[in-house]
């Protein structure tokens, strides 16, 4: 189970000791103070876990995975080609019988891969340099979105993954109900708003393109918007409702996925950093780690923002870079925000390649009562300092959407790194330069939502089966992925 989780699943690495109110934060950005050394959280989950909009979580769950219910993976290596496995069928069909897979990284992507691959019959081992779901995953908001992606391969992957999330949790819940309950699946829907005439025109065009691609979305007039979000500013020029947007508690969801994998035989090693490759005849047959040598038929680089440094260690570098983001957390509140609500500028910030600070208003509730307020994007390497300009920009833009938050206390702030690729597409598939190496990374801020779909695609590709979404768009051998790396910082945690 994740060793740094908080009540809302987000690591309390920085906190405001004085409970500064949001309008003061907007003015000077000073909401920083170190969190308590014991990592206590300030916004615990409500005892009854009731969903604010009255929607119950899809998946009810059962008992804890036995810690000793693990079977060892194959210790040796082989040159068997996974492409020879061509049989398949149902979601839990054994299509990778006995294939030894080593996953580098125990974040959300790694946990989803472990869950899906072990169901497909693979022998799975996860090597995580830090603690499970303790870095990027723990610093995320848990978004499962279709609203922020235009027509194209990433939207198709998002739609696939959105369909898989509820059924995945239901299946896990048949054995692990407590873990699925902790995942806090909330199909709350999203509302995107524009506050300028130019923004309204752009939002209308964007939504029309999404509808043509099969996304469910509808315009809200002023009355319907006021009913859906009573506290939202009335200074809105357009709004679009996305019923399929959802949210999970990220660490809880990762714990459910990895708990299911361990119960089915996967092995997880934390504090197990990769130090180099084991090669035989030009093929990757395993890795050297701080805990010894580990052999496998297939090695999957799922190291998130650290995928670039990991790929360098293995001798096949890919240009996945860290992109910093910050979030503010308010004191617990009575029900105030009932959907994921964000300004239409958010889509532009996500799609921007500018290394400088990009910010937009994103406001959503948690089951425990605090609001999550984002978001920002900045390329600053692995510099993990919270910056006042980022926090102030977030607060100002949130207040424009929800003026009622002006006197709400900001209890803490945190930041994390997203795995960024210049062409804004994930990297999923085999590395043509090094047989035996696969990648599943580069999802930027969408990794939580895209994780189960990514695992589905990669498992099918390993078995040489047709994939539900064309995987070629995510191939390794594209210019943005093979560009020179800008950072060689050693990875330490996922």
Which residues are bridge partners to 409 per DSSP?
21
C-alpha distances in angstroms, 68 versus 2, 71, 146, 174, 261? Answer: 17, 9, 38, 19, 12
Question: 10 Å Cβ neighbour count for 33?
Answer: 15
Q: List the structure tokens of 132.
A: 């499970």
Provide the pLDDT for residue 41.
28
Whether the Cβ atoms of residue 365 and residue 320 lie closer than 8 Å to each other? no
DSSP 392-424: HHHHHHHHHH-GGGGG-BEEEEEEEEEEE-TTS
Which residues are bridge partners to 247 per DSSP?
143, 186
- Higher local confidence (pLDDT), 8 or 445: 445
Whether the Cβ atoms of residue 250 and residue 108 lie closer than 8 Å to each other? yes
Q: Does the pLDDT at position 397 exceed 50?
A: yes
- Answering whether pTM is above 0.85, one says no
Q: What is the mean pLDDT of residues 159-175?
A: 98
Residue 318 DSSP symbol: -
Interacting residues of 73 by C-beta distance below 8 A, sequence separation 6+: 100, 101, 102, 123, 124, 125, 267, 296
HEC assignment per residue over 134-175: CCCHHHCCCEECCCCCCCCHHHHHHHHHHHHHHHHHHHHHCC
Q: List the structure tokens of 409.
A: 């206390």
Determine whether 466 is exposed, middle or buried from the number of CB atoms within 10 Å of its CB (0-12, 13-18, 19+): exposed
Provide the pLDDT for residue 494.
42
Per-residue pLDDT band at 20 (split at 50, 70, 90): low
pLDDT tens digits for range 55-111: 222 222 222 222 222 223 333 333 333 333 332 334 557 899 989 999 999 999 999
pLDDT tens digits for range 457-486: 999 999 999 999 999 999 999 999 997 766
Our measurement of the distance from residue 363's CA atom to the centroid of its chain's CA atoms, rounded to an integer in Å, reads: 17
Sheet holding 427-430, edge to edge: 267-269, 123-127, 100-104, 298-301, 437-441, 427-430
Low-confidence winner among 146-155, 189-198, 372-381 (lowest mean pLDDT): 372-381
Q: What is the mean pLDDT of residues 292-308?
A: 97
Interacting residues of 126 by C-beta distance below 8 A, sequence separation 6+: 102, 103, 105, 106, 110, 111, 114, 258, 261, 266, 267, 268, 269
Helix (H/G/I), strand (E/B), else coil: 102: strand
Per-residue pLDDT band at 26 (split at 50, 70, 90): low
Low-confidence winner among 68-72, 182-186, 253-257, 278-282 (lowest mean pLDDT): 68-72
Provide the pLDDT for residue 205.
95
Mean pLDDT of the chain, nearest integer:
82
């Amino acid at each position: 189970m994740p060793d740094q989780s908080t009540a809302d699943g987000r690591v309390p690495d920085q906190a405001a000791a004085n409970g500064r109110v949001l309008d003061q934060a907007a003015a000077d950005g000073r909401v920083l103070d170190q969190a308590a050394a014991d990592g206590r959280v300030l916004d615990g989950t409500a005892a009854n876990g009731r969903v604010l909009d009255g929607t119950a979580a899809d998946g009810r769950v059962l008992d804890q995975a036995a810690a000793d219910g693990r079977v060892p993976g194959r210790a040796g290596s082989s040159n068997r080609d996974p492409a020879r496995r061509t049989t398949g069928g149902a979601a839990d069909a054994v299509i990778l019988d006995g294939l030894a897979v080593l996953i580098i990284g125990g974040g959300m992507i790694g946990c989803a891969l472990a869950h899906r691959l072990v169901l497909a019959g693979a022998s799975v081992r996860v090597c995580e340099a830090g603690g499970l779901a303790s870095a990027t995953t723990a610093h995320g908001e848990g978004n499962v979105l279709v609203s922020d992606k235009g027509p194209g391969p990433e939207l198709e992957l998002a739609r696939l993954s959105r369909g898989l999330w509820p059924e995945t949790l239901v299946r896990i819940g048949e054995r692990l109900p407590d873990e699925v309950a902790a995942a806090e699946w909330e199909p709350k829907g999203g509302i995107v708003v524009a506050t300028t005439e130019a923004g309204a025109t752009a939002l209308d065009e964007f939504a029309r393109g999404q509808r043509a691609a099969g996304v469910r979305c509808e315009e809200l007039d002023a009355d319907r918007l006021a009913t859906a979000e009573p506290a939202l500013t009335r200074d809105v020029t357009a709004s679009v409702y996305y019923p399929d947007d959802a949210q999970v508690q990220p660490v809880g969801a990762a714990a459910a996925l990895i708990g299911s994998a361990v119960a089915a035989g996967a092995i997880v090693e934390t504090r197990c950093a990769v130090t180099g490759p084991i090669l035989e005849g030009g093929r990757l047959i395993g890795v050297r780690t701080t805990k010894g040598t580990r052999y496998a038929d297939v090695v999957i680089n799922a190291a998130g923002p650290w995928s670039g440094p990991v790929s360098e260690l293995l001798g096949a570098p890919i240009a996945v870079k860290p992109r910093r983001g910050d979030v503010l957390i308010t004191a617990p509140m009575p029900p105030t925000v009932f959907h994921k609500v964000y300004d239409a500028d958010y889509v532009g910030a996500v799609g921007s390649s500018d290394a400088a600070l990009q910010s937009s208003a994103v406001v959503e509730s948690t089951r425990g009562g605090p609001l999550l307020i984002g978001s920002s994007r900045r390329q600053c390497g692995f510099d993990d300092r919270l910056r006042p300009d980022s926090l102030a920009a977030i607060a100002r833009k949130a207040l424009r959407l929800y003026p009622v938050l002006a006197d709400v206390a900001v209890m803490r702030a945190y930041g994390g790194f997203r795995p960024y690729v210049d062409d804004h597409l994930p990297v999923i598939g085999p590395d043509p330069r090094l047989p035996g190496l696969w990648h599943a990374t580069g999802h930027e801020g969408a990794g939580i939502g895209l994780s189960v779909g990514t695992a589905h695609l990669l498992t099918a590709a390993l078995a040489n089966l047709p994939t539900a979404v064309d995987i070629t768009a995510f191939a390794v051998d594209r210019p943005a992925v093979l560009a020179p790396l800008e950072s060689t910082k050693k990875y330490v945690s996922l």
